[in-house]
Chain A
Amino acid sequence: MSLLQSLKNAVRSRSIHVAYVNVGSCNGCDIEILACLSPRYDIEQYGIYVHNNPREADVLLITGAFSPQWEDKLKPLWDKIPHPKVAVAIGNCPISGCVFNRPETLVDPPVSKHIPIAAEIPGCPPRPTEIISTILSLAPIIFKDYEETKK
């Protein structure tokens, strides 16, 4: 491993930028992501910074069961995120559609049909601690030695 790569690994492990996108959820998962910001869970002590800008993000959190308006919007949004990047599905909705995946519905789950999903957190909604621990355990695996393994 080159010196530059080890430097990048060290920096990346303490600086994870997160964007979240709601593609048709009931808000339950969104407020649990928001709760991660609160001083009790204090997501920023791990170097995770939540701001809703895809162009700066490393991790994209996806909630919701994919409503029709997103069909032409989620893929461009995913393309705007610079490499290395990872998408995490939060809650049952992006995985299976949860209670909304019934006859007569408008949603079109799962989200993995549209963009690659690296990890899934089931739960309706999952607890904030589960969200934080997933991001923390996933990010090193994806981002470690990114430049060297890419070749």
Chain B
Amino acid sequence: MKKTVDISLPVGPMHPCFKEPCRIKCETRGEYVLSAEVELGYVKKGIERIMRGRPWQEVMFLAERVCGICSVIHNFVFIEAVENISGIVPTERAAFLRVIVNELDRMQSHLLANYSYCYTIEHETLAMYLLNLRETVMDQLELITGARVTCAYIVPGGVRSDLSTDDAEKLKSALDHIDAELSRFVKIFETGPLIALRSKEIGILTREAAIESHAVGPTARASGIDNDQRSTHPTYRALGFSPIIRQEGDNYARIMVRFEEVFQSTGLIRSALAAMKEGPIRGGGVIKAGSISYRGEAPRGELLYELKTDDYGRILEIAIQTPSIPNIQVCSHAMLIDAQSAADITSIFISSDPCIACTER
């Protein structure tokens, strides 16, 4: 990048606000941000290179470890892509259980994202409330799958373990608790005057810039783009899903979209629990040769797996396009520009829910 200004302000790789290492290099005039670029490579592991030529049983666990925050959706999309190649259909109960686990994962990811944002704008009380509520969601994930983070719950043809009636009751009461608590926290966020000062009209992402960079997920939906892969997924359509869209495109809208999606997720889990019938949870099947490019909706947006298998169930070619890639790119090249103060750099960056581990794989 050509030097046009007097001050070059690097943020990172170690910064108190960032969960993960990355480096934003801002060119500023005083505190006004003129341009920004992101330097990566701190968590590059080469997962796609490791995956190539390995059997799907190994790639399944590697896919889960692309990202620790949204590990369920990577498992979900990879297994469904492999199933689509081989013509395996999951049993009905398993399809609903997948949705339940996926929505729980989305809830914890959104709560974590909003925690990070509140922590960044120094509203630590609300941040701690949200982090504590996230633990309730993690408990439910552990109740169903047996692990907190990397659970490998979804397998071709079904899921690993069943949900008993007792556990379903526990899950329902936890959902009621989450709804009641979260509506209180959302009210704090909506009505707090200082929060509004630090969030509204800051980091505006226009619809045109979002389309040009292919922004996805809550970042795009806060700018008025109707883009949610769940509306094409058969199980979600059976549950009557419709995406949440806001028009403002600022930090406030992005956080509010995530809050509203948590409420939506609890609703989806309730209707999945109601629609679920007793039945087998494992179908089984054989992985065949073929190639596919399959999309699913991760907490951060559209996730794409492009893969090619052979008759022995090995993965010959694979490419993963994670939602954080377009979101961080549009954040650093469109949202950060024209930020009025250097203090807003971190809050704008965190509001797009960056996940560097996803981005670099």
Do A and B contact each other directly (Cβ–Cβ < 8 Å)? yes
Footprint of B on A, CB under 8 Å? Answer: 19, 21-32, 34-35, 37-40, 51-54, 64-65, 67-70, 73, 77, 98-100, 102-107, 124-125, 127
- Among candidates B135, B149, B150, residue contacting A40 with C-beta atoms closer than 8 Å: B135
A21-B14, A26-B66, A27-B19 known; A105 vs B131 contact (CB < 8 Å): no
Q: Chain A residues near B47 (CB, 8 Å)?
A: 100
A21 touches B21 (CB 8 A): yes
Name 10 interchain pairs, CB-CB below 8 A, sorted by A: A22-B21, A31-B19, A31-B149, A52-B16, A69-B42, A100-B47, A107-B45, A107-B46, A125-B150, A127-B148
A38 touches B134 (CB 8 A): yes
Q: Chain B residues near A67 (CB, 8 Å)?
A: 41-45
Q: Chain B residues near A40 (CB, 8 Å)?
A: 132, 135
Q: Chain B residues near A21 (CB, 8 Å)?
A: 14, 21
The smallest C-beta distance from B307 to any residue of chain A, in angstroms, reads 16
A70 (CB) vs chain B CBs: closest residue: B42
B50 touches A104 (CB 8 A): yes
**A134 to B132 alpha-carbon distance, docked (Å):** 22
Q: Chain B residues near A27 (CB, 8 Å)?
A: 19-20, 67-69, 355-358
Q: At the interface, yes or no: B9 with Cβ under 8 Å from chain A? A: no
A25 touches B44 (CB 8 A): no
Chain B, interface size category, equals 35 or more
**A98 to B45 alpha-carbon distance, docked (Å):** 12
A51-B16, A52-B14, A52-B15 known; A32 vs B43 contact (CB < 8 Å): no
A28 (CB) vs chain B CBs: closest residue: B68
Q: Chain A residues near B134 (CB, 8 Å)?
A: 35, 38
Most A-side CB within 10 Å, residue of B16, B52, B357: B357
**A67 to B68 alpha-carbon distance, docked (Å):** 17
A26-B68, A27-B355, A99-B62 known; A38 vs B49 contact (CB < 8 Å): no
Q: Chain A residues near B65 (CB, 8 Å)?
A: 26, 28, 98-100, 124
Q: Chain A residues near B149 (CB, 8 Å)?
A: 28, 31-32, 125
A26 touches B132 (CB 8 A): no
A34 touches B148 (CB 8 A): no
6 additional A-B pairs beyond A26-B357, A27-B67, A106-B49, beta carbons within 8 Å, are A27-B69, A67-B43, A98-B65, A100-B46, A100-B50, A103-B50
A99 touches B131 (CB 8 A): no
Instruction: Kindly identify, within residues 310 to 361 of chain B, every residue whose CB is under 8 Å from any CB belonging to chain A.
Output: 355-358
Q: At the interface, yes or no: B126 with Cβ under 8 Å from chain A? A: no
Interface string of B120-148 (1 = CB under 8 A from A): 00000000100110110010000000001
B150 touches A28 (CB 8 A): yes
**A120 to B357 alpha-carbon distance, docked (Å):** 22
A39 touches B132 (CB 8 A): yes
Q: Chain B residues near A106 (CB, 8 Å)?
A: 44-46, 49
**A92 to B66 alpha-carbon distance, docked (Å):** 15
A105 touches B15 (CB 8 A): no
